[in-house]
Amino acid sequence: MKIPEPITWIPNPRAATISHSPAVAKYFPAGISTRTRNFHIQIPDYHVTPLKSLNRLAYMIGLDKIWVKDEADRLSLGSFKVLGGSYAIHQTILKLLGTPADFSFSDLNQPEIRNKLGQLTFAAATDGNHGRGIAWSAKQLGFKSVIYVHKHTSQARIDAITRNGAEVKVIDGTYDDAVRQVIEDAQKFGWQIISDTSWEGYEEIPAWVMQGYTTLFAEVQQQLVSMGEFSPTHIFMQAGVGSLAASAFGYYASLFGPERPKMVVVEPDQAACLFHSMEVGDGKPHSFPGNLDTIMAGLACGDPNPIAWDVLYDCADGFIKCPDYVAAKGMRVGGVSLEGDPPIVAGESGAVTLGAIMFLMELDRYQNIRDALGLDKNSRVLLVNSERNTDPDDYRRVVWDGGDRIPPEYRVYKNPFLDG
């Protein structure tokens, strides 16, 4: 059996020609991150998550800076996903009430408002983190939730959703099968779906989810300014259906226009629906034909989010797909950091970009990709640890027991602190 390359790359030269993206203008209009953050700061226990500088690691692999936005403690839920889910639920309620946009989180406690809304049930399909965020948000607001997961979802992730008050239904199939089932059941039972992916006739709520994530990047920019920095030169963002990557790229394209950072999508090679869409080459999103068998559970999606794809097709400078051992490397490097760098506890989906940037910078075979992206000793790279170890057993399998080992031919041993 042929050992898969750590990095498989496909460029998108079209992105460099797009000075104005209609998709960015539509989904990330001016001021949207201010609006989403004004909502999120009302949530009890909201705080800004840390932006961690891996300066020693950056020097070791030939970069100026690596910044990791660490979402491991976002509202004690271990993932950024709650930012999108909570904002989408809030916007859905505003629409149901016909209420002005300045309607606040605390206003929902008013008896007349509760009576007008009645007994709402929010539903979603998930690989784990989105469902937990929806369950938590619904519980905070006093509503019910029903969350659909696929049969390979770990018990730890199911238990975390249940602890936040949701009813969990396990579907005999993939994440995409869970999406299809929740659509059918929500129509039958009158539930309100809060999905992070879109389909024909259902785009508004997934757009709100993507917009909700922009709070994360507004925080990043504030944190960079406090460090005396202006912006990253490069952003590497992991993707399942593509909503987080679209939020990142849409935010920065809206903020900086043609002067935006270089932006790259990173996916599992066994669930690379966005990479595959670029391969097809007709400018449309396409389903991935594989079995979605990857340790990166949060990225194991076969169908792209069509509205996210529109943003990525305009803005992503390239797409990378990686085998599981790349994510495993990122988990181990983050957990056992170089002296002087802060540790980062990252789950499989949260760590893949760290693993990818290391392979990309350390192996001579990828010089052409580095040249295409302008990655060098002056580059300042932004990553997002999108989740903590939300499956502790698998985290220990990888980090403690050495699971998903790097093939010998792709291992690099060097110490620039000693060698010059």
The string of pLDDT tens digits covering residues 67-126 is 999 999 999 999 999 999 999 999 999 898 887 666 676 777 677 777 888 889 999 999
β-pairing verdict for 65-70 and 51-53: antiparallel
Predicted TM-score (pTM) of the model is 0.95
Q: What is the pLDDT of residue 112?
A: 79
Query: What are the Cα distances from residue 137, in Å, to 44, 217, 233?
Result: 11, 21, 34
Distance, CA of 218 to CA of 214 (rounded, Å)? 6
The CATH number assigned to the domain with range 83-202 reads 3.40.50.1100
pLDDT of residue 82: 96
Q: What are the pLDDT digits (tens) for 270-282?
A: 999 999 999 999 9
What pLDDT band is residue 269 in, cutting at 50, 70 and 90?
very high
Is the pLDDT reported for residue 14 higher than 70?
A: yes
Q: Which two tokens stand for residue 271?
A: 């669930």
DSSP letter (8 states) at residue 195: -
Is 1 a residue whose pLDDT tops 80?
Answer: no
pLDDT of residue 249: 98
407: left (phi over 0), alpha (psi -120 to 50) or beta: beta
Q: Which contiguous run of DSSP H or E holds residue 319?
A: strand 318-322
pLDDT the model gives residue 420: 46
What does the pLDDT read at residue 181? 96
Q: pLDDT, tens digit, for every residue of 184-243?
A: 999 999 999 999 999 999 999 999 999 999 999 999 999 999 999 999 999 999 999 999
The pLDDT value given to residue 379: 98
Residue 418 confidence (pLDDT): 58
Of 63-72, 138-147, 250-259, 374-383, the poorest mean pLDDT is in 138-147
Annotated catalytic residue, options 70, 127, 176, 341: 127
Crossing angle of helices 214-226/204-212, nearest 10°?
20
* Residues 206-245 as b or e (16 or more Cβ within 10 Å = b): bbbbbbbbbbbbbbbbebbeeeeeebbbbbbbbbbbbbbb
Picking from 12, 244, 15, the residue whose alpha carbon sits closest to that of residue 127 is: 244
Q: Which of 44-58, 85-99, 371-385 has the lowest mean pLDDT?
A: 85-99
- Greatest distance between any 2 Cα atoms in the chain: 70
pLDDT for 341 equals 97
Q: What is the mean pLDDT of the chain?
A: 94
- Which residue among 65, 69, 81, 321 is the active-site one? 81
Q: How many Å apart are CA 219 and CA 224, to the nearest integer?
A: 9
Share of the chain above pLDDT 90, in %: 86
Rounded mean pLDDT, 119-148: 92
Is 127 an annotated catalytic residue?
yes
Q: What angle do CA 218, 68, 25 make, to 5 degrees?
A: 35
> What is the structure's pLDDT at 110?
75
- Check pLDDT > 80 for residue 415: no
**What's the Cα-to-Cα distance from 384 to each of 189, 206, 235, 252, 331, rounded to whole Å?**
37, 20, 9, 14, 13
Q: What is the DSSP string of 3-18?
A: PPPS-EEEE-GGGGG-
Domain ranges of the chain: 8-79+213-419, 83-202
Residue 342, CA distances (Å) to 54, 61, 288, 387 in order? 7, 17, 36, 16
pLDDT tens-digit readout, 152-169: 899 999 999 999 999 999
The topology under which CATH files domain 8-79+213-419 is Rossmann fold (3.40.50)
417 pLDDT exceeds 80?
A: no
Distance between CA 303 and CA 274 in Å, rounded? 8
Quick: pLDDT tens for 90-99: 999 989 888 7
